[in-house]
């Protein structure tokens, strides 16, 4: 049976892993390579490394860091931040990433998804999205609107419609990072996660709000997610990957042990 994936997310600013709530009050948590290696040894299933200030600083992804992470782990990892073209994707993949994640820049220029999928295959192209709940059902029938630039800007795009369009263009996986839940540790936003998981044929990753194993279980069962991103509770030592997996296994969720 295919197991549910647990994916630690490393938000990197100037070469250091940081964690904030809604991109604010960032705290230095350490070296991305050491942290990636530790989670790998702990049995995480995959990693995501976001160079979170690359886009804002209008620079490419920190490829030297990507290459060091690639040498440190023998599992797949995705790289996001600063990916705006097929050439950027090619460099990140050549540095050893398995997937590239596009977010704001794909909203600006959706064709980058199609170009990436043609060049490297859909399995390499992840669409990251940051939906926020909205009352404007006329514009966003799902009740969720896509934001960009670290939640700062609303786009008027309906989250489910954007997910469908991205998959048509060739996205092979969608990370649904809820703006409302991010950093709260109160659980994933299950409504939008499930709406997207049911709307697209590709795997969906729940992101934002992980506080305990129960939240992951809910994302997998109620949210229909194929994988879940975990950050703060691992970084600050509230729990560990083996502990999360043991609890999930006890709740009947298939996990890789």
Q: Which residues are known catalytic residues?
A: 11, 130
143 binds another protein (CB under 8 A): no
C-alpha 57/C-alpha 92 separation (Å) is 18
Binding to another protein by CB under 8 A, coded x per residue (else -) over 147-166, reads: --------------------
- Token reading at 16: 């250091």
- DSSP notation for 27-92: EEEE-HHHHHHHHHHHT-S-EEEEETTTTTTT----HHHHHHHHHH-SS-EEEESS--SHHHHHHH
**Rounded to 10 degrees, what is the CA torsion of 33, 35, 41, 47?**
-80
201 binds another protein (CB under 8 A): yes
The residue from 14, 59, 71, 109 that contacts another protein (CB under 8 A) is: 71
214 binds another protein (CB under 8 A): no
Q: Which listed residue (85, 123, 133, 240) binds another protein by CB under 8 A?
A: 123
Burial of 237 (0-12, 13-18, 19+ CB in 10 A): exposed
Question: Does residue number 76 form part of the binding site for another protein (CB under 8 A)?
Answer: yes
In the complex, the smallest distance separating the C-beta of residue 4 from another protein, rounded to whole angstroms, is: 8
- Could you tell me which stretch among 52-60, 102-110, 182-190, 223-231 binds another protein (CB under 8 A)? 223-231
167 binds another protein (CB under 8 A): no
Which tokens belong to 215?
Answer: 């939240």
Instruction: Answer for the pair 183, 174: CB distance below 8 angstroms, yes or no.
Output: no
Asked if 83 is part of the footprint of another protein (rule: CB under 8 A), the reply reads no
Give the range of 28-36, 80-88, 219-227, 232-240 binding another protein by CB under 8 A.
219-227
Query: How near is the Cβ of 142 to another protein at its closest, in Å?
Result: 18
**Cα–Cα distance measured from residue 221 to residue 215, given in angstroms and rounded to the nearest whole number:** 10
Binding site for another protein (CB under 8 A): 1-5, 40, 43, 45, 70-71, 74-76, 93-98, 120-124, 172-173, 198, 201-204, 224, 226-227, 256-257
């Amino acid at each position: 049976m295919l197991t549910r994936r647990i994916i630690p997310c490393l938000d990197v600013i100037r070469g250091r892993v940081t964690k904030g709530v809604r991109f604010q009050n960032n705290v230095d948590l350490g070296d991305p390579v050491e942290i990636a290696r530790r989670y790998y040894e702990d049995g995480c299933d995959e990693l995501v490394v976001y160079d979170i200030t690359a886009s804002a600083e209008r620079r490419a992804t920190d490829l030297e860091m990507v290459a060091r992470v690639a040498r440190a782990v023998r599992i797949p990892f995705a790289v996001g931040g600063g990916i705006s073209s097929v050439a950027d994707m090619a460099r990140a993949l050549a540095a050893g990433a398995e997937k590239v994640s596009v977010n704001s820049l794909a909203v600006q220029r959706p064709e980058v998804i199609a170009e990436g999928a043609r060049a490297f295959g859909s399995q390499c192209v992840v669409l990251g999205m940051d939906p926020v709940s909205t009352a404007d059902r006329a514009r966003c029938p799902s009740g969720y609107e896509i934001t960009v630039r670290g939640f700062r800007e609303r786009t008027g795009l309906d989250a489910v419609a954007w997910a469908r369009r991205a998959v048509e263009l060739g996205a092979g996986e969608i990370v649904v990072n809820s703006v409302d839940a991010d950093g709260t540790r109160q659980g994933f936003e299950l409504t939008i996660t499930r709406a997207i998981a049911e709307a697209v044929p590709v795997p969906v990753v729940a992101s934002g709000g992980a506080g305990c194993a129960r939240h992951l279980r809910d994302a997998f069962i109620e949210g229909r997610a194929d994988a879940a991103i975990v950050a703060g509770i691992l970084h600050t030592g509230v729990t560990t990957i083996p502990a999360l997996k043991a609890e999930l296994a006890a709740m009947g969720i298939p996990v890789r042990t």
